[in-house]
Amino acid sequence: MASVSLSEAEKVYIVHGVQEDLRVDGRGCEDYRCVEVETDVVSNTSGSARVKLGHTDILVGVKAEMGTPKLEKPNEGYLEFFVDCSANATPEFEGRGGDDLGTEIANTLYRIFNNKSSVDLKSLCISPREHCWILYVDVLLLECDGNLFDTICIAVKAALFNTRIPRVRVLEDEEGSKDIELSDDPYDCIRLSVENVPCIVTLCKIGYRHVVDATLQEEACSLASLLVSVTSTGVVTCMRKTGKRVGKVLHASLQSVLHKEESLGPKRQKVGFLG
């Protein structure tokens, strides 16, 4: 993780403030920073999203490719995660420096999505045992100011919401050989349902209290942190069961913002990094 050096006085200040439910930027212990979400940022991909949480900036691109299903799950497609901690965030990530953090985050994402209900993998199957859609979810970490896991999960959820997979038909001719036909209409595609995709809430223990959405300075003062992944109905899919209240609120607001952005339609002005 990108490191920041704090003096003892600053640490004491942060810890004492948290005990009184007052953080350095004036938030309460369970408040998130302002989140900005924008989808369809990169046009080469099947779906993409950019999320900015304070100074933490994440870009996720999803590419759908055809491949063969896994042997133990012949009727389902699957997701592959790759996290790239770019040197933009901090010079320590140059070369192979960001690989450790990247693999840790990718492994956490695999664990979260490892259950049957997060994403409907059966809809990604084209023909059992032969063809299926593989979704390559690539996360690019551009700037790091604490609370990486939450932001990454929000970005992955938004990118999966934005993903458009082309509709294919399997044609079988007389000899029995199958041919895959892509539909001619570029807008004829299937969308994934992201209702059950969980969001992660990270709780950092500072002194005797816990805070949600810690900045880099607060993470430096915290003794331990707990990641909980919560779905929109409050079901906890991973880790231990605290922080359910915050998780549900996060889901509701994210879903409403994504639907509002979608309803703006194709005439929406795309801002990306230029705004």
Binding residues vs other proteins (CB under 8 A): 41-45, 48, 55, 57, 59, 61-63, 65, 82, 84, 86-89, 91, 94-96, 136, 138, 140, 142-145, 272-274
**Is the CB of 140 or the CB of 211 nearer to other proteins?**
140
Work out how close the CB of 80 gets to other proteins at its nearest, in angstroms, rounded to a whole number.
Answer: 10
Q: Give 3 or 19: the residue with its C-beta nearer to other proteins.
A: 3
Min separation Cβ 106 and other proteins, Å: 12
Q: Residue 244 is inside which H or E element, if any? A: helix 244-263
Q: Which residues contact 116 (CB under 8 A, 6 or more apart)?
A: none
Q: How far is the CB of 90 from other proteins (least distance, A)?
A: 8
Three-point CA angle 8, 12, 14, nearest 5°: 115
CA distances from 145 to 53, 55, 105, 107, 109 (A): 8, 5, 16, 21, 20
Smallest distance, other proteins to C-beta of residue 160, A? 14
Task: Identify which of residues 35 and 59 has a Cβ nearer to other proteins in the complex.
Answer: 59
The dihedral built from the CA positions of residue 114, 115, 117 and 123, taken in this order, carries a sign that is positive
Rank residues 10 and 30 by Cβ distance to other proteins and give the closer one.
10
User: What minimum distance in Å lies between the beta carbon of 139 and other proteins?
Assistant: 10
Q: Buried (b) or exposed (e) across 4-24, using 16+ Cβ within 10 A?
A: eebeeeeeeebbebbeeeebe
Nearer to other proteins, 19 or 88 (CB): 88
CB 120 within 8 A of CB 193: yes
